[in-house]
Structure 1
Amino acid sequence: MHRLSLQAQLSYHVVREIFIDPYKPVSSDTINKIAEALGVPVTDIIEDVPKWQAEEERRRLKSQPEDS
C-alpha cells in the first residue's frame, strides 16, 4: 500500500481506506491515479455493484476485525 500511495501520489491513508472499504465513494481523479500507478485501465479496478449489495458488503467488512 505504501508503494502504491507513492506511485499514485496519494496519501497512504487514502489508499488504506479504499483497501479496507472497497465500496467507499472515491473520486474519479483518485481512481485514475491508482489505475495509472498500477499500469492498468480504470475498467480493470472498478465494477458496477448494485447499491444494496455494496451496502451489505460494507456492513460485513465493518463487522470484521481489522487484522483479517
Structure 2
Amino acid sequence: MQFRTQIPIPKSKFQIDYTSKILSLGSCFAVNIAERLDYFKFQNSCNRSAKSPDFAFFLKHPLKM
C-alpha cells in the first residue's frame, strides 16, 4: 500500500545561489520570502512597503490611480 503520491520534479536550469540577485514584488508573501532571504544573506530587493496600510490604500483607492 502506498500512502504518498510520488511526483517527479525535474531539476531547473535556473539555480539560485549567493551570487544571484533576487527581486520580490507583490504581497506580504513576497515580503516574508524577502525577509527569509535576508536572513540567509541572499542579495535581494523587495517592495517592503507592501506591509504598510498606506501602500494597500494606494493600490485599492480609485482616486489614487
Larger radius of gyration: 2
TM-score relative to the length of structure 2: 0.28
Q: Larger strand proportion, structure 1 or 2?
A: 2
Q: Larger helix proportion, structure 1 or 2?
A: 1
TM-score relative to the length of structure 1: 0.27
